[in-house]
Amino acid sequence: MKRFTWAAPTFYIIFLMLPIYWLLNMSFKTTNEILGSFTLWPNEFTLENYIAIFTDPTWYNGYFNSLTYVGINTVISVTVALPAAYAFSRFRFLGDKHLFFWLLTNRMAPAAVFALPFFQFYSAVNLFDTHIAVALAHCLFNIPLAVWILEGFMSGIPKELDETAYVDGYSFPHFFVKIFIPTILAGIGVAAFFCFMFSWVELLLAKTLTSVAAKPIAAVMTRTASTSGYELGLLAAAGSLTIIPGAFVIYFVRNYIAKGFALGRV
Amino acid sequence: MSKISLRGLRHSYLDNPANDADWALKSMDLDWRDGGAYALLGPSGCGKTTLLNIISGLVVPSEGQVLFGDQDVTKMPTDQRNIAQVFQFPVVYDTMTVYDNLAFPLRNRGFAEDDIDVRVRETAQTLDLEKTLFNRASGLTADSKQKISLGRGLIRPDVNAILFDEPLTVIDPHLKWVLRSKLKEIHRQVGSTMIYVTHDQTEALTFADKVVVIHDGTVVQIGTPIELFEKPKHTFVGHFIGSPGMNLLPCELNNGVPLFAGQVVETENGIHSPQECQNLEIGVRPEFVSLSESGIPVKVVNVSDTGPHRIVDTRHGDVRIKLLITEDESIPADNVHITFDPAHTQIYADGWLVSEASK
Q: How large is the ipTM?
A: 0.71
Look at residue A87 in the predicted model and tell me its pLDDT.
93
Q: What are residue B243's phi and psi, to 5 degrees?
A: -140, 110
Q: Which of A144-148, B91-95, B203-207, B270-274 has the lowest mean pLDDT?
A: B270-274
| A227 vs B246: which has the higher pLDDT | B246
- Residue B20: CA count within 13 A, CB half-sphere: 4
Relative to beta strand B252-254, strand B193-198 is unpaired
Look at residue B358 in the predicted model and tell me its pLDDT.
42
CB contact under 8 A, B91 and A168: no
Other Cβ atoms less than 10 A from the Cβ of A3: the count is 6
Coil, helix or strand for B166? coil
Q: Which A-chain residues 157-196 have CB contacts (< 8 A) with chain B? A: 158, 160-161, 163-164, 166-171, 179, 182-183, 185
CB contact under 8 A, A167 and B78: yes
For range B210-238, the mean pLDDT? 88
Nearest to A256 by CA among A197, A193, A179, A199: A193
pLDDT at residue A257 is higher than 60: yes
From chain A, the residues in CB contact with B100 under 8 A are none
Cα four-point dihedral sign B50, B54, B56, B60: positive
The answer to whether A238 and A221 are in contact (CB under 8 A) is yes
Distance CA B63, CA B61 (A): 5
For range B192-200, the mean pLDDT? 88
Look at residue A89 in the predicted model and tell me its pLDDT.
92
Using a CB–CB cutoff of 8 Å, tell me whether A94 touches chain B.
Answer: no
The secondary structure element, H or E, covering residue A237 is helix A232-262
Q: Which of A38-42, A113-117, B117-121 has the lowest mean pLDDT?
A: A38-42
What size, in residues, is chain A? 266
Q: How close, in Å, is residue A192 to chain B by CA atoms?
A: 20
Amino acid at A174: H
Look at residue B357 in the predicted model and tell me its pLDDT.
45
pLDDT at residue B356 is higher than 60: no
Domains and CATH numbers, chain B: 4-235 (3.40.50.300), 246-358 (2.40.50.140)
pLDDT, chain A, mean: 87
Domain with CATH 1.10.3720.10 in chain A: 54-262
Coil, helix or strand for B167? coil
Look at residue B359 in the predicted model and tell me its pLDDT.
36
Q: Is residue A266 very low, low, confident or very high in pLDDT (cuts 50, 70, 90)?
A: low
The answer to whether A166 and A126 are in contact (CB under 8 A) is no
Interacting residues of A185 by C-beta distance below 8 A, sequence separation 6+: B95
Q: Which of A64-68, B24-28, B160-164, B207-211 has the lowest mean pLDDT?
A: B24-28
Look at residue B290 in the predicted model and tell me its pLDDT.
87
For range B233-252, the mean pLDDT? 86
How buried is residue B295: exposed, middle or buried, by Cβ count under 10 Å (0-12/13-18/19+)?
A: middle
Model pTM?
0.76
Helix and strand totals (H; E) in chain B: 8, 22
Distance CA B222, CA A261 (A): 51
Count of CB pairs separated by less than 8 Å, A with B: 54
- Axis-axis angle for helices B142-154, B173-190 (nearest 10): 10
Compute CA distances B355 → A166, A259, B215, B234, B255, whole Å.
Answer: 44, 61, 19, 11, 19
Look at residue A132 in the predicted model and tell me its pLDDT.
93
Look at residue B274 in the predicted model and tell me its pLDDT.
58
The answer to whether B336 and B314 are in contact (CB under 8 A) is yes
Q: Which of A31-35, B101-105, B134-138, B298-302 has the lowest mean pLDDT?
A: A31-35
Q: What are residue B260's phi and psi, to 5 degrees?
A: -130, 130
Selecting from A160, A179, A185 the residue whose C-beta is nearest the C-beta of B87 gives A160
pLDDT at residue B140 is higher than 80: yes
End-to-end Cα, chain B, rounded Å: 40
From chain B, the residues in CB contact with A164 under 8 A are 85, 87, 91, 149, 152
pLDDT at residue B59 is higher than 70: yes
CB contact under 8 A, B89 and A171: no
Q: Dihedral, CA atoms, B185, B127, B178, B47, nearest 10 degrees?
A: 80
Coil, helix or strand for B264? strand
From chain B, the residues in CB contact with A183 under 8 A are 93-95
Say which DSSP state B357 is in: G
Q: What is the 3-state secondary structure (H, E, C) of A86-113?
A: HHHHHCCCCCHHHHHHHHHHCCCCCHHH
For range A157-161, the mean pLDDT? 87
Cis peptide before B244 (omega within 30 of 0): yes
From chain A, the residues in CB contact with B89 under 8 A are 158, 160
Q: Is residue A164 very low, low, confident or very high in pLDDT (cuts 50, 70, 90)?
A: confident
Look at residue B277 in the predicted model and tell me its pLDDT.
62
Look at residue A111 in the predicted model and tell me its pLDDT.
83
Compute CA distances A198 → A107, A235, B128, whole Å.
Answer: 11, 22, 50
Using a CB–CB cutoff of 8 Å, tell me whether A79 touches chain B.
Answer: no
Look at residue A68 in the predicted model and tell me its pLDDT.
94
Overall CATH class of domain A54-262: mainly alpha
Relative to beta strand B37-41, strand B296-305 is unpaired
Compute CA distances B287 → B259, B301, B340, whole Å.
Answer: 21, 18, 9
Look at residue A65 in the predicted model and tell me its pLDDT.
92
Most confident of A71-80, A171-180, B196-205: A71-80
Q: How close, in Å, is residue B150 to chain A by CA atoms?
A: 11
For range B329-343, the mean pLDDT? 83
Q: Is residue A137 very low, low, confident or very high in pLDDT (cuts 50, 70, 90)?
A: very high
